[in-house]
Amino acid sequence: MEVYVFEIIGTALLILLGNGIVANAVLKDTKGGDAGWVGITIGWGVAVFVGVFVAADVSGAHLNPAVTLGFATAGKFDWSLVPGYIIAQFIGAMLGTTFVWLTYKKQYDATDDQGAILASFANTPAIKSPFWNFITEFIATFAFVLAIFYIAGGSLSDEPISLGSLDALPVALLVLGIGISLGGPTGYAINPARDLGPRIMHALLPIKGKGSSAWWYAWIPVFGPITGGIAAALVYLYIGL
């Protein structure tokens, strides 16, 4: 059970700090309203660093179903552990975003912009185009997971690939780079738990005037990253032999 507990803790920290910077940047009456896109991407990079560093030596710090499924597809992670890891990641994401809501409760109460409220939980695209939004998430997650294979070891062996705590900084820089380079069209979910878990909490929490949870878009940050992560694993297997 310890590995699942640390996936919960690591993912909760990831979302607490990641969605926390978004809330600070977009909600009304915060002290971080001028953070902008660069501030958000830096904040998410730090969030990844903290989450990975805390969980890495116990659970391998997947913190993302796309990573878990990618590792399992590559034969570097036991399929029997996959359901438990994914459930733990969703629990962590839902807890983390709930802590953001509690931290910024008065700012949520003061914010009338429904889009800003949703943005601090989950993503919507800059331009609504489901096919191209899917492609964006696929490509961003493909790049993310393929790079993680090499950060985590980059060689085929009998041992499962996992991230150690020393890999926290390069993974954080990887997420920072993806956010700055590829994040503009969709907000770079690259993680089904990161988007769907908080979107569920957006629907459930008693947030005044929150508006729609944009369920029409919810499938893209789930299936785009999953397919991108599996594709990265297949490419890794092909070129890594």
State the amino acid at position 122 in one-letter form: A
> How confident is the model at residue 155, as a pLDDT?
44
pLDDT number for residue 167: 75
Asked whether the CA dihedral 205, 206, 207, 213 is positive or negative, the reply is positive
pLDDT in tens, 114-146: 999 999 999 999 999 999 999 999 999 999 999
Which ranges of 27-158 would DSSP assign to H, the alpha helix? 36-59, 65-73, 82-103, 105-110, 114-119, 130-151
Give the contacts of 60 (CB within 8 A, at least 6 positions apart): 3, 77, 160, 161, 162, 163
Position 33 pLDDT exceeds 50: yes
Query: Residues 199-219: pLDDT tens digits?
Result: 999 999 999 999 999 999 999
Q: Can you read off the two tokens belonging to residue 164?
A: 């150690």
- pLDDT at res. 157: 47
pLDDT digits (tens, 9 = 90+) for 140-199: 999 999 999 988 764 444 554 556 666 788 999 999 999 999 999 999 999 999 999 999
> Concatenated DSSP letters for 166-177?
GGHHHHHHHHHH
- At 141, list the tokens: 């997650």
Rounded alpha-carbon distances, angstroms, from residue 175 to 14, 95, 137, 197: 12, 22, 13, 19
What single DSSP character describes residue 190?
Answer: -
pLDDT given for residue 162 in this prediction: 58
**CA-to-CA dists, residue 52 to 68, 88, 158, 170, 185, angstroms:** 14, 15, 23, 10, 26
Q: What is the pLDDT of residues 97-115, one digit of tens each?
A: 999 999 999 999 999 999 9
User: Is a pLDDT exceeding 90 seen at residue 51?
Assistant: yes
- Which tokens belong to 11? 């993912």
